[in-house]
Amino acid sequence: MARTPRADETCQSGSLGEQLACIIDSLPADAMSLQELLDVFSDEGLLLLTILLTLIFLIPVSIPGVSTVFGAAILLVGISRLIGRPLWLPARLRGKALPADKLRPGLTSGLLWVRRLEKISRPHRVRALVDGRVADVFNNLAFILAAILLMAPFGLVPFSNTLPALALLLYAIGFIQRDGVAVLLGHLANIGTIVYFSVLIGGGGLAVRELFQRFGG
């Protein structure tokens, strides 16, 4: 029996956006597990997988539970890159059911971001930010931080998933293209996320204190 080609084998031509569009078209029509999504990528395609997983967060639509599952998968991608080992995911995460019918429109809409960034990204710019062991460790730690921020429990707050997802998208494109400018923009998006979350937490704390003062005394 002939082997069915993997998506990463049949979608290798064209730009990054075109490859991702081909992979999205090859996803199951109704439901899928994270394992089925991983099966279309080789270990070399983990950054491409990261881009795909971030697309759903770049549009103003919230799908409950997705940020935790996708964030955990991206986090483990970052750890695997940092320690130089193949990607490992726990069985519970691999078997997590995902609503493919809801994800597909979001993924397709998110491709607009990839195509925009492709136009401004240039290979091998400011290579000092992406070359060498120190830069590699620092960038992968920043990548891991962005994944943790993506998993933060602020899913219903506007832009709480968008900002870290944008950072991850910039990191992935920067790593693929060896583009130090894209990586630098990823760092700035990470900083922006931390500032935004700090404002949210600080504002929430002030609101709670105000309520206690108003109704408690």
**Do the Cβ atoms of 170 and 144 come closer than 8 Å?**
no
Cβ neighbours of 3 (radius 10 Å): 6
Distance CA 13, CA 204 (A): 48
Ramachandran region of residue 12, left (φ > 0), alpha (ψ -120 to 50) or beta?
A: alpha
CA–CA separation, 47 vs 136, rounded Å?
Answer: 14
What would the pLDDT profile of 169-189 be if each residue is shown by its tens digit? 999 999 988 999 999 999 999
The CA distance from 195 to 23, in Å, is 34
Where along the chain do its domains lie?
A: 7-216
**pLDDT for res 193:** 93
Summarize pLDDT for 69-97 with one digit per residue, the tens.
888 889 999 999 999 888 887 887 777 77
Q: At what angle do helices 16-25 and 46-55 cross, to 10 degrees?
A: 70
CA-based nearest residue to 109, from 54, 35, 38: 54
| Residue owning tokens 């891991």 | 144
List per-residue pLDDT tens for the chain, 217 residues long: 333 345 445 566 667 777 788 877 777 767 777 777 777 665 557 888 888 888 888 876 556 667 788 888 899 999 999 998 888 878 877 777 777 777 777 777 778 878 888 878 888 899 899 999 999 999 999 999 999 998 887 666 777 788 999 999 999 999 988 999 999 999 999 999 999 988 888 876 665 566 666 665 5
Residue 205: predicted pLDDT: 62
